[in-house]
Structures are given as C-alpha cells and as structure tokens.
Amino acid sequence: MYSFSDLFCGGGGMSLGLIEAGLEHKLAVDFWEVARLNYTSYHRLADGEFLQMNLFEEEQRNELIEIIRENSIDVLVGGPPCQGFSTLGKRSEKDDRNKLVDAYLDIAIQVSPKMIIMENVPAIQSMRHESGVRYPQYAKNFLRENGYYAETIFIEGKQVGLAQTRKRLFLLAIRQDEVKQMDDFLSIINAKVTNHTMHNVQKTLRDVIYDLPRFESGEGEDEIVIDGQTIYNHNVFDYREDNLERIRQVPTAGGLQDIPDEYLSNHLIKMKNGGYGSGGFVKNLYGRLEWDKPSGTIVAGIKKITCGRFFHPECNRLLTVREAARLQSFPDDYKFLGSFIDQYTIVGNAVPPKFSELIANVLTEIYEEYKH
C-alpha cells in the first residue's frame, strides 16, 4: 500500500479519492482552521496526522519537508489555492497565491516522493510563470529537470460519472530512477484514463439529488433521516422576501433575463441590459438548473445568490450544501462543519473524490507496471 501526504487539503476531497483507490493516508496540511475542523472530524480522514501550517512561510515549509521525510511518503498530492488562476474572478499573474504552486513543486523536489499529483483549474494553462513560460509547462520542465517523468492532463466530470461539467488540470509525475524508461509518458497516462473511464456516463441532477426532500427557504435540518440513513447539511438559508420574489420569477433553465425589472435593483437592471457586458457570467446569473442536465462547476461562491446557475430545478432557493456535496461526489456521511458560508466554501473548493480516485488509480498502476 502506498502512503500519501495531501498539501492544501481543504476538507479532504483529494484525500478521500486516494483512500478509495487504496492508498494510506499519513499526513494532511492546510492553514485554514475550518479545513482542519472538517478534515479531522470525518472518520475516514481522522487517522492521519493534520498539520496547520502556512506554506507561504519558508520556515514552515522547511519544517514540513523534514516531517514528510520522516514519514517516508510515497505519493505527494496537492491542489495549491487556485484563485489567482480562476476565470470566475479577475485573473492575476501576480496573485501571491500563484506562488504556492512554486512552493508545492519545491517541497516535492525536496522530499523526492515516488509519485506526485498536483491539481488546478484549467485557466492555469494560460497564465505565465515569472520565468516566461506558461505554468503547466514550467511545472513539467521543473520536475523533468529534477528527475521525474511529468505530464499534464485534463479530467472532466463526465469521465468519472459526476453530475457536473467540472474540468480540472492534473499534473502527474513519477520519479525516473524508480521505473523503467517510458518513451511516451502522456500516451501511457491517456491509455490508462481511457481504460478506467470508457464505460462512465455523464450523470444529471436527477440521478444524484432527486431523492432529497424539497425544502424551501428556512427549512431543513443539520441532520435528517431518510430510509434509515442519516443525511447531513440539507438545510436552506432563510431568504429575504425580495430575493425570494426574484427567484420565483426564474423558470427552468432561465435566469436574470427572465426576472421583470420591477423585482430588480438598478444595478441588476443595468446588468440585465448589458451595461456591464454580456458574458456567460451575466447569462447564468440567477440561473435555475435542469433535472435532466448536469450542473456547471460547483464553486466556493455557490453560497451567493448571485454567483451563477445554482438554483434548484424546482425549489426557490440555491442548492443546499448536501446537494452541492453530492454533485462533488462526497459521501453522505460526511458532515460539513462551520457556518453556512464555511460549508459551501469547503465543498466548492474541493477536488471531487472521484477525480482523485481516478488519478491515483492511473498513476499507481503505471508505477506498478514500470517499476524496477
């Protein structure tokens, strides 16, 4: 059994996928107190060590490197915070959070694990590293120069049977001195991915959340029992009446354009009429989902009524934390802790466990087949 350490672990989506793939959890690291609270409270994650560290700080990075070395980790995984790369906000090549990618890669080289996994948003491919090349190419070059086979691939929700159109970039690397020569690492990866995903189909909201009770504004509980099974986090904000009136105007697959001006603020009217541009964000604002289609990418901002197309297909509200968690492939027995906003953020920022399970299976199978 291969052991792993998960950096920038959040609520543990990445870790859960690796555990499902048969890897042993040894160490998790995150700076956010809410991440620590959630990660350590879930029974399948609680057996490993959790370190609350700020990896911006060189001293703490050096301390972590020594701890990982002492634990003899086989696989280093992580999703350095991606807000600086996200297309859902204003992208910035100078965002300090982008530097955590460099910190992660430096830690990886220092601890020299057999295998490395890094996850990020697709927009990272268009951002340039300070060296002048785009980030994915920089990461691959850096690892190759330090003795690794390294490639990047995209994984989409439909490949692993998610009910969302999420797409993420993964960097996969194997230490060259651990395996026989691989002349085309990318082709080997792609063949494995195809083998694991060829029978999967895109799921819809109906497949994933239809069985959950139709709660409205202010309804639901932290814990409910359905057919003898406890379901957590299926409760709803208590919306203001003006917001409820707006939501009620939105038909299936509709959005801001369907809300009469009488229900909108001057700001929203201007947005509706193209005063701020007419991109996809405006099109999806106040958007209602459809039962027989997947959702868009679940994001941390789903907690905001104006974030995008996240209204329930029937109920006049946003998706609950539990509904969002199901779309992310979290198990129902994971109870998310903290405020409403914290819970949505933990779920939206997570790597879907089914994504990391696939990547872990692909990488460890390649390692097994090619190791000396």
Q: Which residues are catalytic?
A: 82
Residue 255 pairs in a beta bridge with none
32: buried, middle or exposed (CB in 10 Å: 19+, 13-18, 0-12)? buried
Coil vs helix vs strand at 136: helix
Residue 75 pairs in a beta bridge with 4, 115
Rounded CA-CA distance 104/142 in Å is: 12
Going by C-alpha positions, the residue among 160, 163, 148, 168 that lies closest to residue 193 is 160
Residue 49 pairs in a beta bridge with 27
User: Distances from the Cα of 338 to the Cαs of 239, 242, 302, in angstroms?
Assistant: 19, 27, 16
Rounded CA-CA distance 73/27 in Å is: 9
Greatest distance between any 2 Cα atoms in the chain: 71
Coil vs helix vs strand at 149: strand
